[in-house]
């Protein structure tokens, strides 16, 4: 009976959005997780790579996985901010082995250079966390000619994972965690316009559209890499108080600030997916340590043809084989 009540509460929180995505939902769910927490030292001897790791959820993920014993690689655009993050992590986790790399995930040449360098220096990658994110105020394109949110959230992570495939395979049973957003629930898969060339451009819409793409493509990525023992997970952190939210959504932050999760709480499911045993099945969408539906609105459901067309487009854009 207790289990059924816990599940009913969890579902009610998820469907009502504000309680479930805020810190209220986290703290109401938290008591049922105690026995499920990753054990101390569970990532000892393992290598974790986190993009967008200079602040917010990325830094919180890096800190938590270092605390569990991992060797952590921070992947950042701004090395000065990255050095500050490294100092902070080492201050919180004395003796932590932390490495810093520069990579602009939206720039495919930068992704290729980073991956080549890591393949030359690391023997394995046990966990790859795709956390780097942008919410552009206006439509801009990368040097490769791709809309910047699409490049950052979809193309860069796909290419990076493919290029790090040998290191992920070397780990035996590795995990890829893509940090998505609950905002994707309001968007349909834009299979005919992934670069957001049509209509009035809005940064919040571009962000949500590309987050929808991440979740929709995860089962195909899971299928692509499953033979190498790589499990692909997507998740959303709820509403977290991060520098990105403050900068990109100041109105939302002003109104919702009192109930926003802190970065550590937002990163909890990322860390759980990275460290929990037995490993969860790949290809699922997670929030607060539970798999969630990919759609709540019938109008957002994509057809098999739409998914196939988007998959073909991103493989062509990253010059990957089908």
| CATH (domain of 63) | 3.40.50.720
Residue 125 lies in a domain: yes
201, 207, 296, 313: the active-site residue: 207
Q: What is the mean pLDDT of each run of 10 residues along the chain (322 residues)?
A: 70 82 93 88 98 97 98 98 98 98 98 98 98 96 98 98 98 97 96 97 96 98 97 95 75 79 97 96 96 95 98 98 88
**Are residues 115 and 17 located together in one domain of the fold?**
no
207 included as an active-site residue: yes
- pLDDT number for residue 1: 44
> Using the 8-state DSSP alphabet, how is residue 226 labeled?
G
Residue 99 lies in a domain: yes
**Are residues 7 and 149 located together in one domain of the fold?**
no
- How far, in Å, are 17, 197, 232, 289 from residue 286 at the CA level? 14, 30, 11, 6
**Are residues 9 and 110 located together in one domain of the fold?**
no
| Residue found under tokens 């926003």 | 260
What tokens appear for 130 in the block? 């795709």
**Are residues 28 and 10 located together in one domain of the fold?**
yes
Dist. CA 102–CA 76, nearest whole Å: 5
**Are residues 21 and 155 located together in one domain of the fold?**
no
Dist. CA 206–CA 194, nearest whole Å: 9
- pLDDT number for residue 3: 67
Dist. CA 322–CA 319, nearest whole Å: 9
Domain of residue 20, residue span: 1-34
**Are residues 4 and 75 located together in one domain of the fold?**
no
Chain-centroid distance of CA 184 in Å reads 13
Count of domains for the chain: 2
For residue 235, give the 3-state DSSP assignment: strand
**Are residues 174 and 295 located together in one domain of the fold?**
yes
Sign of CA dihedral 297, 154, 248, 50: positive
**Are residues 14 and 147 located together in one domain of the fold?**
no
Dist. CA 291–CA 300, nearest whole Å: 19
Residue 39 lies in a domain: no
pTM: 0.95
- pLDDT number for residue 2: 59
């Amino acid at each position: 009976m207790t289990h059924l009540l816990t599940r009913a509460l969890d579902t009610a929180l998820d469907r009502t959005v504000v309680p479930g995505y805020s810190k209220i939902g986290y703290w109401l769910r938290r008591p049922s997780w105690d026995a499920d927490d990753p054990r101390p030292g569970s990532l000892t001897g393992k290598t974790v790579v986190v993009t967008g790791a200079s602040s917010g959820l990325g830094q919180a993920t890096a800190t938590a996985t270092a605390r569990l014993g991992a060797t952590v690689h921070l992947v950042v655009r701004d090395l000065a901010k990255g050095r500050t993050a490294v100092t902070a992590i080492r201050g919180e986790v004395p003796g932590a082995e932390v490495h810093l790399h520069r990579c602009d995930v939206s720039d495919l040449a930068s992704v290729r250079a980073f991956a080549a360098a890591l393949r030359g220096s690391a023997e394995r990658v046990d966990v790859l966390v795709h956390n780097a994110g942008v919410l552009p105020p206006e439509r801009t394109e990368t040097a490769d000619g791709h809309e910047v949110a699409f490049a950052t959230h979809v193309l860069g992570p796909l290419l990076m994972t493919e290029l790090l495939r040998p290191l992920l395979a070397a780990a035996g049973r590795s995990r890829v965690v893509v940090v998505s957003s609950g905002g994707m629930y309001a968007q349909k898969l834009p299979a005919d316009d992934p670069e957001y060339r049509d209509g009035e451009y809005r940064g919040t819409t571009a962000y949500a559209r590309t987050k929808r793409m991440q979740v929709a493509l995860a089962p195909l990525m899971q299928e692509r890499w499953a033979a190498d023992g790589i499990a692909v997970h997507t998740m959303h952190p709820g509403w977290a108080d991060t520098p990105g939210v403050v900068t990109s959504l100041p109105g939302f932050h002003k109104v919702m600030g009192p109930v926003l999760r802190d970065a550590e709480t937002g990163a909890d499911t990322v860390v759980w997916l990275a460290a929990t045993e037995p490993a969860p099945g790949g290809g699922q969408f997670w929030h607060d340590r539970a798999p969630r539906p990919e759609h709540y609105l019938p109008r957002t459901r994509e057809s098999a043809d739409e998914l196939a067309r988007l998959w073909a487009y991103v493989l062509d854009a990253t010059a990957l084989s089908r």
